[in-house]
């Protein structure tokens, strides 16, 4: 009996897949089909596979061509499978020519001509494309546009900015580059808002009123009343309102939060998060500070995320200690935030005029989680105990600093009309801190 094996994702199973499976089957007597697991696809950079593993397996099964279906979960598995199932022929489409020649050592390798004119990528992008507009002056907009290329089903169609000099060549070539926000809103289904935080409320409101979905770089607004108004508006307009904190979308970060919550380090007693990035800022130039994010808005949403996700937002008291660089603009060189909860404490340090070790430490009654700097681009963390032999290390690949996953989650939320990742009480908690800072409530300023 000749055994044949082939692998694929088989997302939105199409004619090209069926043709391939038919020819693979014809190469022998018994066909094994390996369907890639979701995690494995993500590692290979196939981010927005639309169907779940179960759905994809069912689709392959329904063709009636596979005698056996297996799941491909790790790199190098093909060799294991070929040996285990005593496979005679390995085959894939001609888009892979040469890439599996190394398997010749274990069985015969056959590349079959790929069917022209059809692919899962193309089918995915045909499903109602979301037109996205970008808003803001920061260069991060270029990064966002770059990362969005990895996601099918969305297209950046325009930018609204007062600083076109910060746009790269690709963005300058877009059909719409304008200083008029209403004009941008006429041409899009969704916006990514990276304007100065003082404009977020106005920009988000205008978008939602036109039933345009919003992904905003946190914070949502600078007052709780504005935040609640926007949340209500997003519900009545049936629009997605997504908090953009890229760390929240990193796999490693999510895993460490789950581990902490599942009691691996006992009861959580303390969270300590530091986020700093030294920048050359002229604190006497109020005009230029108008466009610059202060330390609080630039970093506190990220630093507060693990605090609020682990300890909640119902702290009994807080204190914000800042060194203010420009009083009129409420621009802090750095701020330290202390939170007291009934059974725990938290401390956060954020700054653009200070340099420190950007780590995250979550301490519990049995051990602690340590995430080295820069923890907000988390790929790696450790679980540490009194007895070092019990320590564990975790590594999860992070592509595109998390921005890619953030865009993907946003696109999915729009598609499935579902809200996601960051709970609304956390968005509110972040805005409350911004409001306290602006109103100097529970705040203390150090001398300059
Ligand atoms: N295949 C094919 N002809 C096509 C598309 C796919 O012969 N038009 C083959 C591939 O070469 C592979 C198998 O079908 O051997 C599974 O491919 P998969 O990667 O799941 O499908 P694609 O449509 O290529 O998916 P994507 O666009 O996401 O790369």
Residue 262 in this model has a pLDDT that exceeds 80: yes
Q: Which residues pair with 353 in a beta bridge?
A: none
Lowest mean pLDDT among 106-110, 121-125, 175-179, 401-405: 121-125
Q: What is the pLDDT of residues 214-260, one digit of tens each?
A: 999 999 999 999 999 999 999 999 999 999 999 999 889 999 999 99
Mean pLDDT of 259-287: 95
CA–centroid distance, 16 to ligand 1, in Å, is 7
Q: For residue 54, what are its two tokens?
A: 């179960």
- Alpha-carbon distance of 411 to 389, in angstroms, equals 43
Tell me the C-alpha distance between 226 and 353, whole Å.
29
Mutate to test the pocket of ligand 1, among 20, 45, 123, 152 (most ligand atoms within 8 A of CB): 20
Secondary structure letter of residue 132 according to DSSP:
E
What does the pLDDT read at residue 194?
A: 97
Are residue 210 and residue 300 in the same domain, yes or no?
Answer: no
Whole-number Å distance, alpha carbon 435 to ligand 1 midpoint, is: 52
Residue at which a domain ends, from 87, 103, 120: 120
Distance in Å, CA 395 to ligand 1 centroid:
30
Whole-number Å distance between alpha carbons of 193 and 138: 10
Cβ of residue 9 lying under 6 Å from some atom of ligand 1 = yes
Q: Could you tell me if 97 and 110 lie in one domain? A: yes
Q: Token pair 């979701």 is at which residue? A: 38
State the Cα–Cα distance between residues 433 and 308, nearest whole angstrom.
12
**Do 27 and 77 reside in the same domain of the chain?**
yes
Number of other residues whose CB lies within 10 A of the CB of residue 289 = 20
Q: How many helices (H) and strands (E) does the chain have?
A: 15, 20
Residue 19 Cα: closest atom of ligand 1: 7
Looking up residue 317, the CATH number of its domain turns out to be 3.30.360.10
- Taking residues 275-304, report their average pLDDT: 94
Confidence (pLDDT) at 418: 67
What was the pLDDT predicted at 25? Answer: 96
Show the tokens assigned to 225. 């009343």
Whether residue 267 sits in one domain with residue 135:
no
One domain for residues 254 and 377:
yes
Q: Please give the Cα distance from 287 to 290 (Å, whole number).
A: 5
Ligand 1 centre distance from Cα of residue 21 (Å): 10
**Residue whose CA is closest, atom 9 of ligand 1?**
93
Query: What is the per-residue pLDDT across 147-184, written as a single tens digit (0 to 9) for each?
Result: 998 887 889 999 999 999 999 999 999 999 999 999 99
Same domain for 37 and 97 = yes
Residues 162 and 102 in one domain: no
CB 338 within 8 A of CB 272: no
The CATH number given to whatever domain includes residue 202 is: 3.40.50.720
pLDDT at 436 over 70: yes
The distance in angstroms from the start CA to the end CA of the chain is: 83
Q: Is the CB of 425 under 6 A from ligand 1?
A: no
Question: What percentage of residues in the chain have a pLDDT greater than 70?
Answer: 97
92 in ligand 1 pocket by Cβ < 6 Å? Answer: yes
């Amino acid at each position: 009996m000749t055994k044949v094996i082939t692998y694929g994702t088989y997302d939105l199973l199409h004619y090209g897949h069926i043709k391939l499976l038919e020819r693979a089957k014809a190469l022998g007597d018994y066909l094994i089909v390996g369907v890639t697991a979701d995690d494995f696809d993500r590692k290979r950079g196939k981010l927005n596979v639309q169907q779940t593993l179960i759905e994809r397996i069912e689709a392959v099964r329904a063709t009636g061509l596979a005698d056996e279906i297996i799941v491909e979960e790790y790199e190098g598995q093909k060799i294991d499978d070929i040996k285990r199932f005593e496979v005679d022929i390995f085959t894939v489409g001609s888009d892979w020519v040469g890439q599996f020649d190394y398997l010749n050592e274990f069985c015969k390798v056959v590349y079959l001509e790929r069917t022209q004119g059809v692919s899962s990528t193309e089918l995915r992008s045909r499903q109602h494309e979301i037109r996205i507009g970008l808003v803001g002056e920061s260069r991060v907009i270029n990064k966002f546009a770059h990362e969005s290329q990895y996601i099918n089903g969305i297209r950046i169609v325009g930018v609204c900015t007062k600083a076109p000099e910060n746009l790269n060549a690709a963005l300058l070539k877009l059909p719409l580059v304008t200083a008029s926000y209403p004009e941008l809103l006429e041409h899009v289904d969704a916006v990514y808002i990276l304007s100065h935080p003082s404009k977020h409320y106005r920009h988000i409101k205008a978008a939602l009123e036109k039933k345009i979905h919003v992904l905003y770089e946190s914070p949502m607004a600078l007052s709780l009343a504005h935040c609640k108004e926007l949340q209500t508006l997003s519900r009545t307009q049936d629009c997605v309102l997504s908090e953009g904190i890229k760390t929240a979308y990193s796999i490693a970060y999510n895993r460490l939060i789950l581990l902490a919550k599942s009691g691996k380090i006992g009861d959580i007693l303390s969270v300590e998060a530091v986020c700093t990035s030294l920048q050359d800022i002229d604190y006497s130039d109020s005009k230029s500070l108008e466009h610059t994010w202060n330390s609080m808005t630039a970093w506190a949403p990220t630093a507060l995320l693990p605090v609020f996700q682990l300890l909640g937002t119902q702290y009994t008291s807080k204190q914000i200690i800042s060194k203010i660089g420009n009083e009129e603009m409420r621009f802090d060189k750095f701020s330290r935030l202390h939170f007291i909860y009934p059974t725990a404490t938290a401390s956060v340090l954020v700054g653009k005029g200070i340099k420190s070790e950007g780590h995250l430490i979550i301490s519990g009654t049995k051990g602690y989680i340590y995430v080295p700097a820069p923890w907000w681009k988390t790929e790696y963390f450790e679980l540490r105990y009194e007895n070092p032999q019990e320590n564990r290390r975790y590594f999860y690949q992070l592509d595109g600093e998390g921005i890619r996953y953030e865009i993907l989650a946003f696109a999915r939320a729009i598609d499935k009309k579902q809200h996601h990742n960051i709970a609304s009480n956390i968005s509110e908690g972040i805005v409350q801190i911004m409001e306290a800072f602006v109103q100097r409530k529970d705040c203390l300023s150090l001398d300059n």
